[in-house]
Structure 1
């Protein structure tokens, strides 16, 4: 008995000491809530993101099936309620909203944003983060060195417990994420223009450097006279000379015939002038380098690429799928090669030309052709490099070509789809990348406007002939499905199931549309609903967008001014809304669709009406909730994509246009229709002129992801508070 009392006494002393040691520890059952006024969305639930069946964030967002933080974010599985005095205090919770785990940025400073709970401090690279709500939401500025940067975020609890997260952020000052034209070489370097920047590219080492940046002009076209560079500032109606060493600009011409949209420039050495093709005015202008005087040399519709060769009295010009000669004295235009002139591979749209002594090289995007300019074979075409000729990486969308004066048998092509400068051997057609700015391994994203869906930590991008999966943590890309010849193309939209194993996509079957089941493991595609089969229900024309109605297991597909539902199992089709079903204003075409969680209504974005419509999915009734006459704020100029915000009180809408400063990401308030530009020309740092076409989110509040075909050909993440943009995969 005495020994038992001794043991009890010792235990009491130990327990008292433990209680005293814990003293100021926080209440084990309390976790600070996210302030509703926080600049970051507080409710992370989305059917497009990583959520469990209870609607809580999973490992990527730090909640387990019981609605409590998981092993990464804090509490263990089980009862999320109060704990006994003997239970250890909860581990601190930490969510990084922006940027994603691995990203590419173009600026020297980046703001990191996130949320935390049960903490007394959040430090980013050792510096205390800023907060006004006890770290329920926090931000921190980090300075990035050129190259790779490791950023460590640590959340600390009162008892000393910590949770750490690591970010990998690469900074590339020299990256040109939207190369526009190629000129040179000058001093062994090629030069590329990118609207607001001039870059030099070393074709031997493959390195790139920014020569100059400017915010007061957007320059198009680029040509060299051997010592200087020239470009056009169409907005200011100016032609400027650029110093290749410093990028310093000098006005060459700022009066006379108006320049609207400079398509290309050529240097005419014997007449000391520039020739500029104006796509909007459909003409070729001659601009003196002596006094800046301008004159119209010739009409040209459409006005495309142009090139001049010293000693020749004529230039070559491209206009659509045709190449002509242009008399440099009279302005006379004569067809050289097109569908009815010359034999050989058919010409598609001509993006650039190089005039040589006996022939012309014509670049048509994925192919380089030779066009004979003299003799009996004048106008005949021969494939130099492209599908079926030449080894090496295929040309994606090449838009500019320049000769290497030191090696007459070699040219350089600028491939904007692969963001690469490609060396092409004219004898063999072989291709090799001499400079490329990708991010993340795998096949490049194409330049076609496709669909975007995010599920299970992966983004799925649908292009006309394939489905690409992108790992959001690493940026790695994988081709998971390829359309066969039976499908004209995967067009419209895509929905991926919660497990990330199966998807439904809309497709074209000639003039009709279809719903396709995609097995993401095997890549197999199966037509579920065939628009050419009337026994399956109402007609389905060419599809534009798709969303899944989870309450009815049907896909809602936009086709013209109609919304058509197709059962994902049987393929049976019914009319949801059109001019023949449901009252209210009609839309011309729904560019994108988003369906409410309860399946009661859908929102569609219409380009011609520049508006967001709400559609009742039972009655088909339509109403405009934001547009020219509804809601305040800047207009939605030709919008192409939308997604519901995590908080359910707003929509995110993307505008890809380059008209003025309208492009970017917009927030549309569902209650008032008010529109606010979150990211664009005047909002947010990062790659500019990104021309987003589709938008989605992954369930982590405070960020969305966008695709940028035809510009960056990349997947970007945008923070929805400050509008910052980073590249996740390219």
Structure 2
């Protein structure tokens, strides 16, 4: 009888405990504060590794041997402007200061390694010359010259480290294009070589371009796009950081393909060093930068799962240097609400689509390679929509395709892209909506275009771009939605909010006006039952959701977390990086926060915030349990019955 009682206790433990045992794709390595969203890395000659972390607004010193993490600068260490959107990092020749590019501050910031103090080197108020707009990469040459890539200016800007004065050394200016050779189109990473040349990864082409730092003349090193094509080897997709691997060779990381690639500068030939098909060990998630140690080991900064990964340059094998894994959702970027009220979320960290119970917060994988469903694996699943038949459609910026997900099986089927359908191939699809006729519209950041996609054939036709339609150009779009009258609303990092006429592609800016609303880089979009557009955004010390009337631009804060009391709206759960947005039948909003790995519910009237699911709210369960109804109620009833039986048998 005692044996049976003990067995019952074990059943209770496994029944109640098993749902919380979420599989993680990284291990916990190293002590210290956790990385949230690391975005850049630089290593000194003594193998000190400095990592900039967008999520925590901090700079970390990472011990490459133990994985221990120490904050050297951040909100609680050092004085000066808080860096909230660090994108690139370099180190000055003196080795006592870092230089970082911050896209929210639109500035280059110097960070003292010893004190953590932060001072502005160059911004709109310090230095002369063209203002920095959307900085991405920073490089410092051996003499201390500072170079910044600007995603919006399509240029490389030299910054005087003493005065902050700025001048375009390659790219367009008011006086014409500086330098000859291929134009820059969304330059990102930058590396200053010892030979006086700069090497830039360009997301728009995609390509690697060499720049003479004196004349600005440019030479295509390697590329695989329809316009710039040079060198042989693996295709390039969405390039981020780069570094030198020795004389004549550079390393680049591909954000979409999860790879590290070496490129021969002389002929542009490419070779996979590490990736899904090369090397063993932990997978690269979304690699954003790389550096090389004095012994030649490659160290990769992985945006999500937030970690630093060591790569063997000979075998491509990968091991975790430092990481603190998240439980449950890792990097939820977009959400949608099903007719049943359940929530679906795309998770770039897990490369998966989750189904979330809107009441209990329990969650289960709906579709992901090796977990549920067949077909091509997700690489970078982004905006998603729900079809009338209950299936989902997702844009995948990694596979460069539009994917249909069968709700009942999790199977993934490409409906456009990667050889399916005719027309311009996708380069970097991000935004997605369905029109009233059942067909789709996709925004592609690489093509900087809205594309009509035939739902049945996958054929693609340009709806609006620089050559189709008039009005402000689109650049870096995160979300698109459609209004009841068919008008398309676009959230653009440069042009903010635009409406697009689906008949002729004409674009018009929405004149957002509202004293407390300052939408700098709109992320998620949703439409209320009354036609208002909800916009998520975060800038500096404010994370917010605003409502905007698309007809006149009148805007109001719906919910806001801010260091400025006057800009706070609503109470409850914290919010740091609101991204995707959906509307429930009750009128409440559901918003994903990729900083915390949570899904929030927001009262659209009061602005109050509550957690729907997180590492501490809801369990990770089997999908069958989630689909069967209230998993928590069932578990509780079953557990209670087992307790009663156990007590009876034991006593």
Q: TM-score range by the shorter chain?
A: 0.5 to 0.7
Instruction: State the Cα distance separating 1:495 from its structure 2 match.
Output: 7.1
Instruction: State the Cα distance separating 1:640 from its structure 2 match.
Output: 3.9
Q: Is the 8 A contact 1:220 1:263 kept in 2?
A: yes
Choose the corresponding residue for 1:348, options 237, 261, 273.
237
Instruction: State the Cα distance separating 1:516 from its structure 2 match.
Output: 6.8
Instruction: State the Cα distance separating 1:385 from its structure 2 match.
Output: 0.8
Q: Describe the shift of the 1:468–1:222 C-alpha distance in structure 2 as closer, same or farther (beyond 3 A).
A: same
Q: Which digits, 9 at most, give the CA deviation of each residue in 1:154-186, with x for residues without a partner?
A: xxxxxxxxxxxxxxxxxx993443333223357
- Structure 2 equivalent of residue 250 of structure 1: 119
Instruction: State the Cα distance separating 1:423 from its structure 2 match.
Output: 1.7
Instruction: State the Cα distance separating 1:335 from its structure 2 match.
Output: 1.7
Matched, 1:678 2:559: yes
- Structure 1 equivalent of residue 33 of structure 2: 174
Instruction: State the Cα distance separating 1:325 from its structure 2 match.
Output: 2.2
- Structure 2 equivalent of residue 332 of structure 1: 217
Could you tell me how far apart the structure 1 residues matched to 2:252 and 2:97 are? 25
- Structure 2 equivalent of residue 279 of structure 1: 151
Choose the corresponding residue for 1:494, options 386, 410, 420.
386
Could you tell me how far apart the structure 2 residues matched to 1:368 and 1:631 are? 45
Matched, 1:439 2:326: yes
Instruction: State the Cα distance separating 1:296 from its structure 2 match.
Output: 3.1
TM-score, normalization by structure 1: 0.53
Choose the corresponding residue for 2:139, options 263, 266, 270.
266
Matched, 1:212 2:74: yes
Instruction: State the Cα distance separating 1:484 from its structure 2 match.
Output: 3.2
Q: Describe the shift of the 1:603–1:198 C-alpha distance in structure 2 as closer, same or farther (beyond 3 A).
A: farther
Could you tell me how far apart the structure 1 residues matched to 2:582 and 2:197 are? 48
RMSD of aligned Cα (Å): 5.3
Q: Which runs of 5+ in 2 are unaligned?
A: 1-19, 22-30, 172-182, 421-429, 443-455, 457-473, 500-509, 617-651
Number of equivalenced pairs: 473
Could you tell me how far apart the structure 2 residues matched to 1:174 and 1:482 are? 36
Q: Describe the shift of the 1:506–1:483 C-alpha distance in structure 2 as closer, same or farther (beyond 3 A).
A: farther
Instruction: State the Cα distance separating 1:384 from its structure 2 match.
Output: 0.6
2:577 is paired with a residue whose SS is: coil
Give matches, 1:95-494, under 5 Å: 174-185=33-44, 188-194=48-54, 196-210=57-71, 211-213=73-75, 218=84, 219-225=86-92, 226-233=95-102, 238-253=107-122, 254-257=126-129, 258-269=131-142, 271-299=143-171, 301-302=184-185, 303-310=187-194, 312-320=195-203, 321-339=206-224, 340-355=229-244, 356-365=246-255, 366-374=258-266, 378-405=267-294, 407-408=295-296, 410-441=297-328, 444-445=330-331, 450-453=334-337, 459-462=343-346, 467-470=353-356, 477-480=364-367, 481-482=372-373, 484=375, 492-494=384-386
Q: Describe the shift of the 1:603–1:370 C-alpha distance in structure 2 as closer, same or farther (beyond 3 A).
A: closer
1:351 is paired with a residue whose SS is: strand
Q: Which digits, 9 at most, give the CA deviation of each residue in 1:583-630, with x for residues without a partner?
A: xxxxx9994589xxxxxx999983379599xxxxxxxxxxxxxx8699
Q: Is the 8 A contact 2:331 2:595 kept in 1?
A: no
Q: Which runs of 5+ in 1 are unaligned?
A: 1-100, 103-171, 497-501, 533-541, 548-554, 562-570, 572-587, 595-600, 613-626
Q: Describe the shift of the 1:696–1:438 C-alpha distance in structure 2 as closer, same or farther (beyond 3 A).
A: farther
Could you tell me how far apart the structure 1 residues matched to 2:87 and 2:431 are? 35
Q: Describe the shift of the 1:436–1:455 C-alpha distance in structure 2 as closer, same or farther (beyond 3 A).
A: farther
Q: Describe the shift of the 1:635–1:607 C-alpha distance in structure 2 as closer, same or farther (beyond 3 A).
A: farther
Q: Is the 8 A contact 2:38 2:307 kept in 1?
A: no
Instruction: State the Cα distance separating 1:413 from its structure 2 match.
Output: 1.5
Q: Is the 8 A contact 2:41 2:49 kept in 1?
A: no
